[in-house]
């Protein structure tokens, strides 16, 4: 079954970060220039693992880097192998295992910001916003203008109802990247949480006017319209989003929820069927 809308909040944070190039490949992280410190056997093994990651063969990469952790003979090799193992496990969907591997790598080098940031992303995927918040705050103590991490923290503050801290982060973000649409969308979400619906709608109107082909802006506006009881307007926005992205099962689920609220059970059933159908096609 598709995810319910309430389950999507932290996934939305990650999706927006990815649009800002926040998906960091650990294979780049610990640096080919460090390979001069690696043994020949270890280097050969890791080169194979890196090639597998480049080819999106994450299961094979995972097996390679698991072996690398076993033959690593110094601290640098251990960090490199556990970091890449974690990334491979993450891409295989093995989030708990990835978290353990990131933790091991971070224990070996607790100043590596990229590793901590990747761990925060895993925490979010696991629904552990509190630990993600700790990691983001740790990073920002060292890199106060890291916009990707600032955005992640602001989004978490928003979801937790800590509106003052969220606004502080968004003010800084707006100064650092005033034309960033993801920041504008996040600010609209904050206004919505604060029930400042007029401010949120104005922000979304501007976003839609300048970017009429972005489905998530219509979905964001439909959320506000739904909260205001404007179900017909919300349905129109969801229909627009579906026209733009017809293979998103969650949009049909949202449509079904609205039809249910309006008492149109037949239409709700059809939308749920469509959601299931779209989800099956992806498998």
DSSP code of residue 3:
P
d(CA 97, CA 128): 15
Residues present in the chain in total = 283
Q: Tokens in use for 81?
A: 């192998």
Q: pLDDT-derived band of residue 20, with 50, 70 and 90 as boundaries?
A: very low
Average pLDDT over residues 24-52: 67
d(CA 21, CA 117): 13
How many DSSP H helices and E strands does the chain contain? 16, 0
Q: What is the mean pLDDT of the chain?
A: 87
Q: Are 82 and 68 in contact (CB under 8 A)?
A: no
The reply to whether the predicted model has a pTM over 0.85 is no
Task: Give the rounded distance of the alpha carbon of 214 from its chain centre.
Answer: 17
Give the rounded percent of residues in the chain with a pLDDT score beyond 90: 75
Q: Are 221 and 211 in contact (CB under 8 A)?
A: no
Q: Tokens in use for 30?
A: 């610990």
pLDDT at 188 over 80: yes
> 155: closest CA among 192, 202, 100, 101?
192
Residue, of 29 and 43, whose pLDDT is higher: 43
* Model pLDDT, residue 31: 44
Give the rounded percent of residues in the chain with a pLDDT score beyond 70: 87
Task: Give the rounded distance of the alpha carbon of 150 from its chain centre.
Answer: 13
pLDDT digits (tens, 9 = 90+) for 108-121: 987 788 899 999 99
Average pLDDT over residues 50-77: 92
Average pLDDT over residues 261-276: 95
Helices (H), the chain: 9-19, 26-29, 40-54, 58-71, 75-91, 95-108, 113-125, 129-142, 147-160, 163-176, 181-193, 197-210, 215-227, 231-244, 249-261, 265-282
pLDDT at 280 over 70: yes
d(CA 276, CA 3): 11
* Model pLDDT, residue 277: 95
Task: State phi, psi for 18 to the nearest 5 degrees.
Answer: -60, -35
d(CA 183, CA 189): 10
* Model pLDDT, residue 270: 96
d(CA 273, CA 207): 31
* Model pLDDT, residue 61: 94
Q: Tokens in use for 100?
A: 């353990």
CATH class of 213-283: mainly alpha
* Model pLDDT, residue 283: 67
* Model pLDDT, residue 5: 38
Domain ranges for the chain: 213-283
> 216: closest CA among 201, 237, 194?
237
pLDDT at 36 over 60: no
pLDDT at 4 over 60: no
Q: Are 2 and 252 in contact (CB under 8 A)?
A: yes
> 16: closest CA among 216, 174, 203?
216
Lowest-confidence range among 10-14, 68-72, 128-132, 258-262?
Answer: 10-14
* Model pLDDT, residue 200: 97
Q: pLDDT-derived band of residue 226, with 50, 70 and 90 as boundaries?
A: very high
Q: pLDDT-derived band of residue 282, with 50, 70 and 90 as boundaries?
A: confident
* Model pLDDT, residue 41: 84
Q: What is the CA radius of gyration of the chain?
A: 21
């Amino acid at each position: 079954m598709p995810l319910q809308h309430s389950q999507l909040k932290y996934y939305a944070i990650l999706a927006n970060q990815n649009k800002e190039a926040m998906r960091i490949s650990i294979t780049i992280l610990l640096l080919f220039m460090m390979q001069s410190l690696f043994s020949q056997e270890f280097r050969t093994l890791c080169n194979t693992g890196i090639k597998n990651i480049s080819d999106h063969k994450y299961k094979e990469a995972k097996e390679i880097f698991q072996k690398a952790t076993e033959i690593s003979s110094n601290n640098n090799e251990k960090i490199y192998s556990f970091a890449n193992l974690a990334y491979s496990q993450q891409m295989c969907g093995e989030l708990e295992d990835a978290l353990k591997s990131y933790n091991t790598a971070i224990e070996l080098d607790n100043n590596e910001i990229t590793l901590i940031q990747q761990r925060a992303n895993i925490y979010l995927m696991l629904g552990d916003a509190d630990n993600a918040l700790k990691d983001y705050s740790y990073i920002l103590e060292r890199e106060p203008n890291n916009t990707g991490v600032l955005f992640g923290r602001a989004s978490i503050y928003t979801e937790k109802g800590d509106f003052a801290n969220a606004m502080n982060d968004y003010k800084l973000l707006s100064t650092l990247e005033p034309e960033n649409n993801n920041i504008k969308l996040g600010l609209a979400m904050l206004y919505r949480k604060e029930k400042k619906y007029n401010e949120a709608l104005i922000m979304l109107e501007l976003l839609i006017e300048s970017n009429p082909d972005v489905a998530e802006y219509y979905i964001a506006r439909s959320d506000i319209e739904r909260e205001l009881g404007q179900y017909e307007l919300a349905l129109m926005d969801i229909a627009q989003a579906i026209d733009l992205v017809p293979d998103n099962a969650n949009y049909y689920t949202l449509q079904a929820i609205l039809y249910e609220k309006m008492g149109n059970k037949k239409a709700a059933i059809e939308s749920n069927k469509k959601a299931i159908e779209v989800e099956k096609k992806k498998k």
